[in-house]
Chain A
Amino acid sequence: MPPDDNGSFLCLLMNTTIRRALLILLAVNAIAASAVTSVKENADTTLSLTEVTVTAVRPQTEVIPAQKLSGEELQRLNSNSVADALRYFSGVQVKDYGGVGGIKTVNIRSMGTNHTGVVYDGIELGNAQNGQIDLGQFSLDNIEAISMYNGQKSDILQPARDFGSAGTIYLRTKTPEFSHGETYHARAALRFGSFDLINPSALLELRLSSHVNASLSAEWINSSGKYKFRYRRVNPAGEIAYDTTAVRQNGDINATRIECNLNGNLQNGEWHFKVYNYNSERGVPGAIVNNVWRRGERIWDNNSFAQGSHTQTYGNFTTLNNVKYSFYRTHYVNNDDKQIKVDNLYKQRELYFSTANELMLKRWWRLSVSYDFLWNALDADMHDFARPDRFTNMVSAATAISFNRFKAQASMLGTFIHDKLRGKKAPEDKHAFTPAIYLNFQPARTRDFQLRAFYKRSFRMPTFNDLYYADMGNSRLDPERVTQYNFGAVYSRSSHGFIPEARISADAYYNRVSDKIVAYPKGQQFRWTMLNLGLVDITGVDLSGLITVNPTYELYLTLRGQYTFQRAIDVTDPTDSYYRDQIPYIPRHSGSAVVNATWKQWSLNYSFIYVGARYNQQENIRYNYTQPWYTSDISISRDITINHVNLRALVEINNLLSQDYDVILNYPMPKRNWRVTLMVNI
């Protein structure tokens, strides 16, 4: 199709859309969440004393706990970014376009990237333009914990927005904790390795007073993004048809991240304030196709936000208030002299305010009401651009009961959306009411074994691109809706013996995505539009297990594994050639295993990731078949402590067996690569 105004252009649009996804991100804050979040994750060893106090006031409230990676375990996982770490969670598929600067988005339980909420230190990150968060932009340098909840975090003291997504990922940065007499901590790290990677970072934590502390975190990442990849094909007789190795081009990145936090403790409360800036320039490597090995697209992102949070408890009443302003600037250029020249500047603004209030009526019964206001605006220097503004009001009401052996929670979220366009008539206001019910039951006297279930409805608004992008957008779109049913069981125990910790869990689920927003050809040839066309049925099973053994003094072995089965089929229209076929890029089987051994100051980590066969387009035919891939990563680290100074060296080798694979068709992944981290902690 002609790239001018036609179909291939659509692709271009879609790709750039994804690229633009880059946009956004980072948001932050408030660790308000710490009091709130950490408390819930009360197994977290990093809880400060203050938080423990809070814990006493607010008992553990989550009905269904999260999948979680944190602390040391997270640091050892051979992960460059948050997206890499999420590959170890069950039910998650990561779309990875390859390389250090490549886009990485996640899809929870096949419902689609746009249904995944990402919360950074207590406040959700937004991208009204395309609804996707590029998790490749988040390095793990200052991330303390990653938690993933199916449906919502089953707590009731949270912003209304947190009740909204079909699956939610919480990223929590490191909060300073000082022991008695300490006034500061400092950490410096240097990472370097394949792809000409240089990545220094620094963290400074200061105790300003007995109630206030501050932290400053900064990072620079630079990489040529060059790596060798190989395409090899054999003919049916097994002889080599072709075998070519080339270097990935135009995948370079140069980025800085600066983050400042102020945290304060109050009598029965706390507050947090954060400012954040991410600034990057990167190449977009693009698809490798016949006769095209290099492309000319580049993106500059400058994302900033400031956010504040305050939590206070007055007797039986707790209030959590958040506020945030963000500004994302994205400059996209296509310089390829064989293609249409593109040079667009996008500016997104977001203002957010939230108040969440919880009342404990009885020790076993709590109620909450939250109200959020969100304003999004997008501006672009494009011809005839609608410059949309979106005003979202969200109100949630929730209740939770908690007995010894039974916990339940019900919530209802009302979302009211009003769009405004410059010079054009905006679509009608939209609203939706989405309920959720979470249950947890402990059948026996012991807490080891628990049954759990949830039901949740949610929706995602069409993004600005879906609605208003040039003449591809369709302002008549309805929200895309998801209904989830989940039933599961968990067995866990911890003790001080030979097996300090063991846990196994299983969940089965059925999801239905209706009114799915898909690109569809429009009347005149080559034109696409967005329509509410799709209907997807998802049946899945997530299994995960963890066991730690302590066979001898100072030797700990941990084995963590997860497996996901997903049958996600398109049931839109029986006359489609792909009716009841597995939807693109969702493997039937996927899983991972991590083995970690620590002995004194040594730690050895081996991780294995498996993603089964997938189809890269809707029809499950062999022309669309994509092979399974599986990689082995290994790392070894050693800590040395000299006079209160802790030194660490970590060496990682990724894709140890140098498998040549694509996660996304025509986006080749790196062969074997390595990285070294040197870190000093004072």
Chain B
Amino acid sequence: MIMKTSITRLLLILLACTALAGCREDEVVMPAENETVPDIADPDTQIQGMYVLNEGNMGSNKCTIDYYDFPTGIYTRNFYGERNPDVIKELGDVGNDIAIYGSRLYAVINCSHKVEVMDARSGRRIGQVDIPNCRYISFHKGNAYVSSYVGPVLVDPDSPKGAVYRVDTLSLAVTGRVSVGYQPEEMAVSGNKMYVANSGGYRAPLYDNTISVINLEEFKQVRQISAAINMHRMRRDEQGKLWVTSRGNRQTQPSQLLVLSSEHENGEMELTDMLPVPCSNIAIHGDRLYYISSELNDYTGTNSISYGIIDTRTKKVIATNFITDGTEHEIKMPYGLAVHPETGDIYLTDAKNYVSSGTLYCFSPEGKKKWSIRTGDIPASICFLPKSTSGN
């Protein structure tokens, strides 16, 4: 009897320990977190706010959207989660691109194989478009175009060519698909042509070195421009030139910056310049192209990073440090880059070690830090929300 009571007592103690240590509770939907940015935005711009897409590390399902509202200065982390608590397994795994077209916000979620479509103002979910291994999005005449690493399986099933999917932005239906090069990344439209940067990343070391040209009216690839290996970014400047980054192969082929421009009357673009500027990200504002360049020093294991500006008219580097106040020493892994379309403020994200919260920095056009704030994991892509949105 005595023993029995001791055992009971022991059990009770154990149970008490457990209770002290904590029990499971209902899993609550991740709440949003609000923080006020210590800066007052210019009230006279036509920009209401900006969205930051945080990739989240692969397999973590921690892709989130943050929203920064300029008039109130409130920065909201996990904005999507709060607005859409009933979406099973939240926004998804590895967000790769975010953009606004008309009144809708589109987020390309790479490892969830979908494009999430939301109301641009409320962030409420409207629907999704399933596209396998989707990468980037761009828009033209009521259609969204989404690059995908996996196209229709063709001759070589081991490494199928990639594709660009056409999505009707009203119905969210896929209305077409065109096969392009291997593992296509960013796209840009010029005239009635779409240019697609192919990487061939799945075929390393046999990277793709072509830019696909799609005639948007027929929605067919009409040409491939031989350029440089492993291309990634593609942006159009005010003069209509296309700026394309090549990641190189990290051994024999360096990373560089390419320019496509049109010298023909028909507007066809050709490769005209190859600048020896290694860029991991670029953003164009007026006739300035801001870039982040980072290279690993093999001996110290540290990154040598520079933040430069190129004049898009002369194609010359006009500054090698657009951060002028020493803040660059705080930044571990510069990642996302965007420039406010009106004020010229520079937004730069730090992805740190890819598995912890990032930081969003805001710099004045003169390169002085205005503020910084914590983001989700791997802040990558940024888009601006206009005060008035129209269309669909």
Which residues of A are interface residues toward B (Cβ below 8 A)?
Answer: 1-12, 15, 231-236, 238, 241-242, 244, 286-292, 337-341, 383-384, 471, 474, 476, 498-499, 520-525, 527-529, 531, 545, 547, 549, 551, 557, 559, 561, 563, 575-578, 588-589, 591, 593, 595, 608, 610, 612-613, 616-619, 621-623, 627-630, 659, 661, 665-666
Contacts and interface: CB of A to CB of B under 8 A. Distances in A.
A3 B247 contact: no
Contact of B61 (A8, A287, A525): A287
B301 A476 contact: yes
Interface in B352-390: 352-357, 374, 376-378, 380
A339 B110 CA distance: 10
A8 B57 contact: yes
Contact of B89 (A231, A338, A661): A231
Contact of A524 (B11, B112, B183, B255): B255
Contacts of A289: 59, 61, 89, 92-93, 111-112
Interface in B19-67: 21-31, 55, 57-62, 64
Contacts of B135: 2
A622 B376 CA distance: 12
Contacts of B18: 591, 610, 630
Interface string B139-153: 000000000011001
A7 B199 contact: no
Contacts, number: 257
B301 A612 contact: no
Interface in B289-304: 294-297, 301, 303-304
B27 A338 contact: no
A628 B201 contact: no
Given A337-B132, A339-B133, A292 B113 contact: yes
A522 B24 contact: no
B351 interface: yes
Interface in B195-246: 199-202, 204-205, 230, 232
A235 B7 CA distance: 41
B255 to A, nearest CB: 7
A232 B27 contact: yes
B29 A235 contact: yes
A interface majority secondary structure: loop
B23 A520 contact: no
B109 interface: yes
B204 A287 contact: no
B168 interface: no
B102 interface: no
A340 B200 CA distance: 11
Interface string B104-139: 000001111110000000000000101011010000
Given A8-B55, A523-B297, 13 more contacts: A3-B110, A3-B111, A4-B149, A7-B55, A235-B28, A290-B87, A290-B93, A290-B109, A291-B128, A520-B353, A561-B14, A577-B357, A618-B356
B223 to A, nearest CB: 24
19 contacts: A2-B96, A5-B201, A233-B29, A234-B26, A244-B88, A291-B128, A292-B112, A292-B113, A341-B158, A476-B301, A521-B332, A522-B296, A524-B294, A557-B7, A575-B330, A577-B357, A618-B353, A618-B355, A618-B356
Given A383-B205, A523-B297, A5 B278 contact: no
B316 interface: no
A661 B21 contact: no
A623 B30 contact: yes
Nearest to B358: A577
Nearest to B24: A627
Contacts of B91: 290
Interface size of B as a range: 35 or more
Nearest to B2: A498
Contact of A629 (B24, B200, B333): B24
A665 to B, nearest CB: 6
B155 interface: no
A551 B205 CA distance: 73
A563 B55 CA distance: 38
B94 interface: yes
Interface of B: 3-4, 6-7, 10-11, 14, 17-18, 21-31, 55, 57-62, 64, 78, 85-94, 96, 109-114, 128, 130, 132-133, 135, 149-150, 153, 158-159, 183, 185, 199-202, 204-205, 230, 232, 247, 250, 255, 278, 280-281, 294-297, 301, 303-305, 330, 332-333, 335, 351-357, 374, 376-378, 380
Nearest to B294: A523
Nearest to A7: B354
A80 to B, nearest CB: 23
A563 B17 contact: yes
Given A4-B202, A290-B112, A661-B24, A242 B61 contact: no
B3 A659 contact: no
A11 B378 contact: no
B58 A12 contact: yes
A472 to B, nearest CB: 11
Contacts of A659: 24
Contact of B295 (A3, A340, A523): A523
A291 B110 CA distance: 11
A524 B250 contact: yes
B301 to A, nearest CB: 6
Contact of B31 (A236, A578, A666): A236
Contacts of B28: 233-236
Contacts of A235: 28-29, 85
B59 A11 contact: yes
A542 B281 CA distance: 50
A666 B112 contact: no
Given A233-B27, A591-B18, A290 B60 contact: no
Residue among A242, A291, A524 with the highest chain B CB neighbour number at 10 A: A291
Contact of A531 (B24, B247, B301): B301
A244 B86 CA distance: 11
B356 A238 contact: no
A291 B113 contact: yes
Nearest to A592: B14
Given A7-B58, A337-B153, A341-B158, A523 B296 contact: yes
B69 to A, nearest CB: 21
A410 B280 CA distance: 54
A549 B295 contact: no
Contacts of A524: 247, 250, 255, 278, 280, 294-296
A53 B85 CA distance: 69
Contact of B87 (A242, A286, A551): A242
B62 A623 contact: yes
Given A291-B113, A520-B353, A627 B27 contact: yes
Contacts of B114: 290-291
Residue among A6, A11, A528, A563 with the highest chain B CB neighbour number at 10 A: A11
Contacts of B357: 577, 619, 621, 623
Contacts of B247: 5, 524
Contacts of A612: 21-22
Contacts of A476: 301
A573 B256 CA distance: 34
A578 B356 contact: yes
Given A5-B247, A498-B3, A521-B351, A234 B21 contact: no
Contacts of B58: 1, 3, 7-12
B3 A11 contact: no
A562 to B, nearest CB: 10
Residue among B61, B199, B281 with the highest chain A CB neighbour number at 10 A: B61
Nearest to A557: B7
Given A591-B18, A665-B60, A338 B133 contact: yes
Contacts of A557: 3, 7
Contacts of A4: 149, 183, 199-202, 204
A291 B356 contact: no
